[in-house]
């Protein structure tokens, strides 16, 4: 029997998304997930408003921050039936040479919902079973969270988790996060959970005030500091708190040209610059600074599925707060919500709930 479902489809940039019925019956090795929630990410806005090209041609359903329950399974995936899950935002194939060598983020056969395959802005999504992250519903309830709310773990939390892990953040580290709305706010909390003292930089005082309650030891408004003053304030903070003046770990999460320029300007000897945010804009930098400071820059594309359980544990153990930064919204209002997120009238991470 067909599994009746519907989703909201993008037909062209800036055109209203349209509801479309579809059959969500999974094939061999696939599962159908009844969507509990799907977060609205900056990447979705890039596709919808800025004309960033998706790998799969339009029409396409966006959405890659997905949680839900497995309600149907193809052959070989029956063990997932009934499970509460988070669908990874990037699903590597697991069998190619790159995956076998631990390079899953650059797997050339990877599938990203809302980019390579149909996404999560619907009642159901059909995805490969490999890589799903089980959610312990007892722990979820004990943490005071709903399955819909943890959908944003799939990108907004796991991507900065991967960045913090790869950068080697540890007790005694000085971590600097630029852009602390959304992904950056979680980056602050994760870096703190890894033992760092965290400096948060943004242009929005409300966002800075929020992260000051959730892990940021120092907050700086970039509008009130030029490049020299920013670096000076962080150096003074490091000295006052017995932290090193070298080897800073800098996380660019704003996805803006200004933020990227500021991040590069904060390089010190032995620094690690992790680029987490995305922008189509170009920046002008002196690349030789990496050489002069013996520093390194790392791009971060998603997070391998094997690290999702550890990232989710930070939430369920109360080390990273989700609830104050998430706002569930009815899926039927998706066009209105996209407009509100685009115009920044919704300050929290919108989660579309069917």
| Concatenated DSSP letters of 262-294 | HHHHT--TT-EEEE----S------THHHHHTT
Per residue of the chain (354 residues), what is the pLDDT tens digit? Answer: 789 999 999 999 999 999 999 999 999 999 999 999 999 998 999 999 999 999 999 999 999 999 999 999 999 999 999 999 999 999 999 999 999 999 999 999 999 999 999 999 999 999 999 999 999 999 999 999 999 999 999 999 999 999 999 999 999 999 999 999 889 999 999 999 999 999 999 999 999 999 999 999 999 999 999 999 999 999 999 999 999 999 999 999 999 999 999 999 999 999 999 999 998 899 999 999 999 999 999 999 999 999 999 999 999 999 999 999 999 999 999 999 999 999 989 989 999 999
Q: Does the domain formed by 4-155+303-353 have CATH 3.90.180.10?
A: yes
Residues ≥6 apart with Cβ < 8 Å to 261 = 227, 283, 284, 285
Closest CA to 174 of 216, 138, 132, 205: 216
Sign of CA dihedral 279, 346, 201, 166: negative
Tokens of residue 318, six digits: 């109360």
Pairing relationship of beta strands 30-39 and 349-353 according to DSSP bridges:
antiparallel
Q: According to the model, what pLDDT value does residue 91 have?
A: 96
Is-cis flag, bond preceding 30, omega within 30?
A: no
Domain ranges of the chain: 4-155+303-353, 158-299
Q: Which residue has the tokens 């991040």?
A: 263
Tokens of residue 139, six digits: 């722990």
Element (H, E) at 239: helix 227-240
Element (H, E) at 335: helix 334-342
Contact 48, 13 (CB under 8 A): yes
Sign of CA dihedral 88, 94, 97, 99: positive
Pairing relationship of beta strands 30-39 and 65-73 according to DSSP bridges:
antiparallel
Tokens of residue 286, six digits: 């002196």
Q: According to the model, what pLDDT value does residue 138 have?
A: 98
Q: According to the model, what pLDDT value does residue 280 have?
A: 87
Q: What is the C-alpha separation between 169 and 171, in angstroms, rounded?
A: 7
The sheet with strand 174-178 has its strands ordered as 216-221, 197-202, 174-178, 249-252, 272-275, 296-299
Contact 133, 305 (CB under 8 A): yes
CATH architecture of 158-299: 3-Layer(aba) Sandwich (3.40)
Q: According to the model, what pLDDT value does residue 1 have?
A: 77
The upper half-sphere exposure of residue 178, i.e. CA atoms within 13 Å in the direction of its Cβ, equals 29
């Amino acid at each position: 029997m067909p599994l009746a479902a519907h989703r909201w489809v993008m037909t062209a940039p800036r055109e209203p998304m349209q509801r479309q019925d579809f059959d969500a019956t999974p094939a061999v090795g696939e599962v159908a997930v009844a969507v509990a929630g799907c977060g609205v990410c900056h990447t979705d806005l890039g596709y919808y408003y800025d004309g960033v090209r998706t790998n799969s041609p339009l029409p396409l359903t966006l959405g890659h921050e997905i949680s839900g329950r497995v309600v149907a399974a193809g052959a070989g995936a029956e063990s997932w039936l009934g499970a509460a899950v988070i669908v990874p935002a990037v699903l590597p194939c697991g069998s190619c040479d790159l995956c076998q060598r631990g390079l899953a983020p650059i797997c050339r056969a990877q599938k990203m919902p809302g980019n390579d395959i149909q996404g999560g802005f619907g009642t159901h999504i059909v995805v490969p079973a490999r890589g799903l992250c089980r959610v312990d519903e007892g722990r979820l309830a004990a943490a005071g969270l709903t399955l819909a709310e943890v959908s944003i773990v799939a990108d907004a939390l796991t991507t900065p988790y991967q960045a913090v892990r790869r950068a080697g953040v540890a007790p005694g580290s000085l971590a600097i996060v630029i852009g602390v709305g959304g992904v950056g706010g979680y980056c602050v909390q994760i870096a703190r959970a890894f033992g760092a003292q965290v400096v948060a930089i943004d242009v929005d005082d409300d966002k800075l005030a929020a992260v000051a309650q959730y892990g940021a030891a120092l907050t700086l408004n970039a509008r009130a500091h030029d490049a020299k003053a920013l670096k000076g304030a962080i150096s003074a903070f490091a000295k006052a708190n017995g932290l090193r003046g070298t080897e800073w770990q800098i996380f660019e999460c704003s996805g803006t040209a200004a933020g990227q320029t500021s991040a590069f300007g904060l390089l010190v000897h032995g620094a690690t610059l992790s680029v987490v945010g995305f922008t189509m804009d170009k920046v002008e930098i002196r690349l030789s600074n990496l050489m002069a400071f013996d520093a390194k820059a790392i791009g971060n594309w998603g997070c391998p599925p094997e690290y999702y359980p550890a990232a989710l544990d930070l939430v369920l153990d109360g080390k990273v707060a989700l609830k104050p930064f998430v706002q569930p919204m009815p899926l039927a209002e998706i066009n209105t919500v996209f407009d509100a997120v685009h115009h920044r009238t919704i300050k929290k991470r919108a989660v579309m709930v069917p």
